[in-house]
Amino acid sequence: MNLVVCLKQVFSTEAKIRISPDGRAVSDEGVEWVMSPYDEYALEEAIRIKEATGAGTIIAISIGPDRCTPMLRSALALGADRALHLKDPMFDSVDALGVARALAAAIRRNPCDMVLFGRMGVGMDQGVIPAMVAELLGAPMAGLVVKITVDAEKVRCVREIDGGSEVVEMALPAVVTAQKGLNEPRIANLKGIMAAKKKPLDLLTAADLGLAAPDLQDVRLVHESYELPAPRTAARLLQGDPADTARQLVQILRNEAKVI
Ligand SMILES: Cc1cc2nc3c(=O)[nH]c(=O)nc-3n(C[C@H](O)[C@H](O)[C@H](O)COP(=O)(O)OP(=O)(O)OC[C@H]3O[C@@H](n4cnc5c(N)ncnc54)[C@H](O)[C@@H]3O)c2cc1C
């Protein structure tokens, strides 16, 4: 079974979010970049499928600048067989559709049975790229998947839906997005880290993928502005015995918060 996993680099959850002075971008100054957590589930699932079926190749793909290389190396250390780093100045101003077109072009050149994504790239949270790629590839897609069972011709997925779960079956090749609960991602061991150094990590440009400016510069979504949530006011600690603090609380709710 040949599998492709699409990996996006995102801000670490520890990162302090700052907005650029013009309000139109989120500053990445001094930020630590990590693999999007939902993509970790997608990668882990690909490794488990390969281990269970005992054959095939896992290709990890990421679009982004040089900082993506260590993330792709860590995907190789965890169990991917090959990595494709899609890097080109033309990718610097694409929107989600441009990312999807580039991913679909890379996947078409590396036909596979299943493409695994995270359910969304943490941070931007759009959750649109997997559906776009599925459409471009003409493949069926199941999102928010928490269990995968696969055979030579089809994949059966348990999807998380409101208040329950749903089971769907798709003919291969198919696209799947990973939801939390799909698995528990492993940590790379020393043997994997050493092996990763010898695994192929190929750089591909837009031209290598047969993409030209019109495919990538047709930007349909422009980030207008960003705003941080209002800072939280400090907590107030009420002092006194229970009857007294209850009286104070009622006064605050009535006179200051005006909610009763
Ligand atoms: C270098 C670069 C510059 C960009 N500049 C702009 C810009 O100026 N304006 C703009 O609107 N958008 C820009 N984008 C696109 C933007 O950063 C996001 O990719 C897009 O908005 C969708 O993000 P998302 O995380 O919400 O995607 P989602 O649809 O939530 O992502 C879902 C899944 O798709 C896969 N995926 C997403 N992104 C990638 C990736 N890069 N590589 C591999 N797999 C991926 C992952 O599996 C991820 O879990 C740029 C992207 C890149 C790579």
Per-residue pLDDT tens listing for the chain (260 residues): 999 999 999 999 888 889 988 889 899 888 999 999 999 999 999 999 999 998 899 999 999 999 999 999 999 999 999 999 999 999 988 999 999 999 999 999 999 999 999 999 998 889 999 999 999 999 999 999 999 999 989 999 999 999 999 999 999 999 999 999 999 999 999 999 999 999 999 999 999 999 999 888 888 888 889 998 888 888 889 999 999 999 999 999 999 989 98
Q: Chain centroid to CA 148: how far?
A: 18
Going by their DSSP bridges, the two strands 26-27 and 18-19 should be labelled as: antiparallel
DSSP β-ladder status, 114-118 and 174-178? parallel
**Per the confidence metrics, is the pTM higher than 0.85?**
yes
Strands (E), the chain: 3-6, 9-11, 18-19, 26-27, 33-35, 58-63, 82-86, 114-118, 141-150, 154-161, 164-171, 174-178, 201-204
- 205-250 pLDDT, tens digit per residue, is 999 999 999 888 888 888 889 998 888 888 889 999 999 999 999 9
The domain locations on the chain are 3-216, 232-260
Q: Is the CB of 129 under 6 A from ligand 1?
A: yes
CA of 211 to the centre of ligand 1 (A): 17
Pocket test for ligand 1, best of 95, 116, 220 (most atoms within 8 A of CB): 95
CA 136, 142, 147, 150: dihedral to nearest 10 degrees? -60
- Tell me which residue of 106, 108, 71 sits closest to 86, measured CA to CA: 106
The reply to whether ligand 1 has any atom less than 6 angstroms from the CB of 130 is yes
Q: Is the CB of 7 under 6 A from ligand 1?
A: yes
The contacts of residue 95 (CB under 8 Å, 6+ apart) are 219, 220, 221, 222
| Ligand 1 center–CA 95 separation, angstroms | 7
Residues 3-216, CATH architecture: 3-Layer(aba) Sandwich (3.40)
pLDDT of amino acid 46: 98
Q: 177: buried, middle or exposed (CB in 10 Å: 19+, 13-18, 0-12)?
A: buried
150 Cβ inside 6 Å of ligand 1:
no
pLDDT computed for residue 124 by the predictor: 86
Instruction: Report which residue type is found at 124.
Output: M
**Beta-strand relationship, 3-6 and 114-118:** parallel
Q: pLDDT at position 169, please?
A: 98
In sequence order, the β-bridge partners of residue 27 are 18
**Residue 58, both tokens:** 């896992």
Query: Which protein residue has the closest C-alpha to ligand 1 atom 28?
Result: 127
